[in-house]
Structure 1
């Protein structure tokens, strides 16, 4: 008979899991029984935070849940930050951890890696955290996690398995159940919303990350309604260069103006988070008339007042709306969008326009690439204004939870999810140092990732914030390593360039016989935004 550990691996395989990111330890060795022969690839990061961020990047790039294996105690605490980032950005992630023997839990016996209540701690960031109490409860716990990640808003799920239970015998695993179909909106709600959209004269659509896998339907609906589409950070890449697309932040005055001019606003898969809609911390949201919302999460729909709310999968709802609305006469939708784009671009500082230009260089040199970012100045600039050429191809940790150290490991996870695509990671010298050892994971796996380090010699944005608040600057100058030496120690080619488009374009050109990861350092003394 298989053990619980073997049954775990078999059930993950049955749910289509192809990659697991984890660091084995004495509390998880039984979870690895059968993994080597399962066909599931195991990737070993250098830190559990890296495992969690890799699972996140894998999920965003693949559309499937990312899976991480971590030990009890420090393994799980190290993974809490990636879990919180995944929750903030609705990223489906399954974290499977060990935990001490059942009879020791909560007794404070001083066991290795002991926590007072590991499950309670995990529940502070998990959508659901569950302990496998016996062999019979394993399969229901796994199936419930995958069903939740398929049917509801994405986020982290945690399953912990006591080390004694992991060794128990388990009966035949069986076939995994069919996952639920995307949630559709009620026909009556679709008809009511379609009628309202058709009666409005100037519709604006706000698209969030929940809509990024429904690009074609979103574009078709926008064309039918002659409606400009404002793309939040996690929706960037949709409607690339489309006349109705506005790839700019709704925190910008120009974008707020086009939203305020609308007589109806349709928001699809966006939670109205301040890091998208109030980046400058003004304490207010864009003015919206007759707001209608489509979101898969009832809790999100309840957080902002709206005239109409539809609890539904974005793709299913947009498909139904396409059938319910007819073409409006083309009026001024494209003109409104163009004016908003031009005015938004004019709002940016010269330095931010330079950085956005560098992003355009990367996109044009590596078309159809995944650009994965950390919290660093070029990413802040791109989050304000950048038109990527692939839906879901631009994502970073500079919104929502905002965890530093995200970019390098998330890019590794994304490369495993999309091995035939180019992956470019953009990290600052400060954020890169949070997870710098993960460069060796990319080197060991020979992943063709381009790591771009924006080196402005410290925490430039925080320094500026302290100065603007009339606070003596302290702690903003962590000395960066010599990145050329770091690259050499990892065995990867390295180039250093100035923050100038032609120099970056030259550095991005493929080199004959080159494979595996490369590093490009951009020498960029702090640029005030």
Structure 2
């Protein structure tokens, strides 16, 4: 059992998901506590994570996006199911277009109750499909191991590919269930090295820049972390 969790009974799937996120250095999450997502909020204090509560989930999404822009870490948004999730998706759309990392986590219908259409609290026709249409990938997990793996997969995406938001849906009955994953499964995954650009394309870009008569540098978010190199390039090209 994790040394952080005080009792085995408290170590729910929601707990280990948040603990896995904490292992990657995230110390702040954004969202609104609700009936269905309390197991994601319960461990925050014990794990040293600051919850930022907003008046509306859209604000939580944009706050997480701004926090990510300032810190370089993925913004984490915790919403309740149905309308809570849908409210956050406009911010996810912005993060997608801007290539910024974001993890949205929300509970979904209990396993076996998908598409039941019985009018349960916050029931939505297909929230997974709605989110998946906006983010890089959306995933509904079915086991504790899948829930933890989804977090690792998200951070691997952010590290080695174009960083874009992802959505993790945890069935309500699974979220509240006792965790059955070993502690070492929660440790950050050793990611594959970031892909290097194709040498031929780099050479072509360099040639085009060298031949440019009046080049102008328009730097996007992908240049974050390379400001010195960007300045050196601009100075070499005498480009504003």
The question of a shared fold, defined as TM-score above 0.5 by the shorter chain, is answered with yes
Partner residue of 1:103 out of 106, 112, 134: 112
Work out which of the residue numbers 111, 117, 130 in structure 1 matches 2:126: 117
Tell me whether 1:21 sits opposite 2:33 in the alignment.
no
Output the CA distance in 1 between the equivalents of 2:38 and 2:229: 46
Contact 1:99 1:160 survives alignment (8 Å): yes
Name the structure 2 match of 1:87.
Answer: 96
**Structure 1 residue 206: deviation in Å?**
3.1
How many angstroms apart in 2 are the aligned matches of 1:65 and 1:7? 18
Structure 2 partner of 1:59: 68
- The secondary structure found in structure 1 opposite 2:54 is coil
CA distance in structure 1 between the aligned counterparts of 2:87 and 2:205, rounded to whole angstroms: 45
- TM-score scaled by length of structure 1: 0.41
Partner of 1:171: 181
Specify whether residues 184 and 101 from structure 1 end up closer, same or farther in structure 2 by C-alpha distance, changes over 3 A only.
same
**Aligned equivalent of 1:44, options 24, 32, 53:** 53
| Alignment size in residue pairs | 228
The equivalent residue for 2:217 is 205
SS at match of 2:218: strand
Q: Which has the larger radius of gyration?
A: 1
Given the alignment, which residue of 9, 22, 25 partners 2:18? 9
Q: Equivalent residue of 1:102, what SS?
A: coil
Q: Distance in 2 between matches of 1:80 and 1:214?
A: 30
Give the number of the structure whose residues are more often strand, by fraction.
1
Cα deviation, 1:277-307, whole Å, max 9, x if unaligned, reads xxxxxxxxxxxxxxxxxxxxxxxxxxxxxxx
**Alignment partner of 1:143 out of 152, 174, 183:** 152
Match of 1:187 among 195, 199, 205: 199
Determine the C-alpha separation between the residues in 2 that align with 1:202 and 1:86: 32
**Deviations along 1:180-239, whole A, 9 cap, x unmatched?**
44432133433343344335554443322222432211111122233x2xxxxxxxxxxx
Separation in structure 2 between the aligned mates of residue 37 and residue 21 of structure 1, nearest angstrom:
17
Structure 2 residue ranges without an equivalent (≥5): 1-7
Secondary structure in 1 matching 2:124: coil
Aligned counterparts of 2:104 and 2:51: Cα–Cα separation in 1:
14
Shift of 1:142: 0.7
The separation in 1 between residues aligned to 2:37 and 2:124, in whole angstroms, is 16
Secondary structure of 1:13's partner?
A: helix
Q: Which blocks of at least 5 consecutive residues in structure 1 are unaligned?
A: 229-244, 246-529
Q: Structure 1 residues 198, 77: closer, same or farther in 2, change over 3 A?
A: closer
Q: What residue in structure 2 maps to residue 71 of structure 1?
A: 80
- Supply the distance in 2 between the matched residues of 1:200 and 1:49 (Cα, whole angstroms): 43
**How far does the alpha carbon of each residue in 1:248-285 deviate from its partner, in whole angstroms, 9 at most, with x for none?**
xxxxxxxxxxxxxxxxxxxxxxxxxxxxxxxxxxxxxx
Offset at residue 43 of structure 1 (A):
1.4
Inter-partner Cα distance in structure 2 for 1:100 and 1:3:
17
Q: Which has the higher contact order (CA 8 A, sep 6+)?
A: 2
Question: What is the CA–CA distance in structure 1 between the aligned matches of 2:226 and 2:194, rounded to whole Å?
Answer: 12
Contact persistence 1:13–1:38 (CA under 8 A): yes
1:98-134 CA-to-partner distances (Å, cap 9, x unmatched) read 1121121112121111011110011121111101111
3-state SS of paired residue (2:131): helix
TM-score, with length taken from structure 2: 0.87
Match of 2:41 in 1: 32
| 1-structure distance, mates of 2:173, 2:112 | 9
Cα deviation, 1:348-403, whole Å, max 9, x if unaligned, reads xxxxxxxxxxxxxxxxxxxxxxxxxxxxxxxxxxxxxxxxxxxxxxxxxxxxxxxx
- Residues 10 and 173, structure 1, Cα contact 8 Å, conserved in 2: no
How far apart in 2 are the matches of 1:225 and 1:157? Answer: 38
